[in-house]
């Protein structure tokens, strides 16, 4: 019987126990959506099992094919350097495909709106509400540009205004974006963390939201996030398109 490649979800890891708990909850949701798929979790730092440990264990079992999926919202340093380095050190018998990061995706916008509506906001509040799209931040210009593009795309769905903000490495900070939206005349200001799990930087976002009216939860195990993981897995296995005559 042909076995599907194992999906290895690669998370950053954190000293904050809420981080790993949220990652495991998301992975459980992924498993529930596709019962026949084996899904494992590995962490780059702080938590166990490590990515290298999971890969060695899979190789020892005789597994041959793995799809390694970075649990990241943008293609920043970890996706471009850390994760490829770990995968390059994997046992030679493993065939590993690195899937794309989760963002951008329309499903993630839907997950952000889900979290906002869980606070009590409704679609009727859109025209009077300003949104701070608060991400962890990065020194990578590509990652910053993705957040700016996402904010513009979200604004086009009808919110009064959407401003990007960053917890580290880039400006503005969450609190500054909240004040900017107040000055713009938004009747209500909501902060939407564009992060997957709780931790140090999400806590900084929460502190920056002190003057906002609404603070949404992290994306966590939202069903839309689980769907994106499976989309990235499927895309990693899809045959490359060949252009006739190229």
List the domain range (segments joined by +) for residue 80: 6-102+223-237
Q: Please, what is the average pLDDT of the chain?
A: 94
Same domain? 190 vs 115? yes
Domain CATH code at residue 40: 3.40.50.1400
Question: Closest by alpha carbon to 103, among 204, 20, 224, 17?
Answer: 224
Count the Cβ atoms, other than its own, within 10 Å of residue 119.
14
Same domain? 169 vs 195? yes
For residue 243, tell me if it sits in a domain: no
For residue 242, tell me if it sits in a domain: no
Same domain? 114 vs 177? yes
How is the beta sheet containing 214-215 ordered, strand by strand? 161-166, 129-135, 188-193, 214-215
String of DSSP letters for 18-75: HHHHHHHHHHHHHHHH-TTS-EEEEESSSSSSBHHHHHHHHHHHT--EEEEEE--SS-
Same domain? 94 vs 117? no
pLDDT tens-place string over residues 6-32: 999 999 999 999 999 999 999 999 999
For residue 1, tell me if it sits in a domain: no
For residue 246, tell me if it sits in a domain: no
Q: What is the 3-state secondary structure (H, E, C) of 175-196?
A: HHHHHHHHHHCCCEEEEEECCC
pTM score of the predicted model: 0.94
Cβ 83 vs Cβ 44: under 8 Å: yes
Whether the predicted pLDDT of 217 surpasses 80: yes
Same domain? 38 vs 130? no
Q: How far apart are CA 246 and CA 244, in angstroms?
A: 6
Q: Give how many domains the chain has, as a whole number.
A: 2
pLDDT tens-place string over residues 97-127: 999 999 999 999 999 999 999 999 999 999 9
For residue 45, tell me if it sits in a domain: yes
């Amino acid at each position: 019987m042909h076995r599907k490649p194992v999906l290895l979800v690669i998370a950053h890891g954190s000293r904050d126990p809420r981080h790993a708990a949220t990652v495991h909850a998301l992975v459980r949701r992924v498993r529930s959506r596709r019962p026949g798929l084996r899904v494992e979790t590995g962490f780059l730092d702080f938590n166990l099992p490590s990515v290298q440990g999971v890969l060695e264990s899979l190789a020892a079992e005789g597994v041959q094919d793995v799809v390694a999926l970075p649990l990241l919202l943008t293609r920043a340093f970890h996706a471009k350097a850390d994760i490829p380095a770990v995968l390059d050190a994997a046992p030679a018998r493993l065939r590993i495909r690195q899937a794309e990061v989760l963002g951008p995706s329309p499903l993630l916008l839907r997950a952000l709106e889900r979290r906002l509506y869980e606070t009590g906001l409704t679609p009727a509040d859109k025209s009077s509400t300003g949104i701070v799209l608060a991400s962890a931040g990065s020194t990578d210009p590509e990652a910053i540009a993705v957040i700016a593009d996402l904010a513009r795309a979200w604004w086009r769905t009808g919110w009064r205004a959407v401003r990007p903000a960053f917890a580290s490495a880039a400006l503005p900070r969450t609190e500054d974006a909240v004040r900017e939206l107040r000055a713009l005349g938004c009747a209500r200001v909501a902060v939407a963390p564009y992060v997957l799990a709780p931790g140090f930087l999400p806590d900084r976002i929460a502190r920056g939201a002190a003057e906002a009216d609404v603070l949404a939860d992290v994306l966590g195990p939202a069903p839309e996030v689980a769907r994106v993981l499976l989309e990235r897995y499927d895309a990693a296995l899809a045959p490359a398109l060949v252009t006739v005559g190229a």
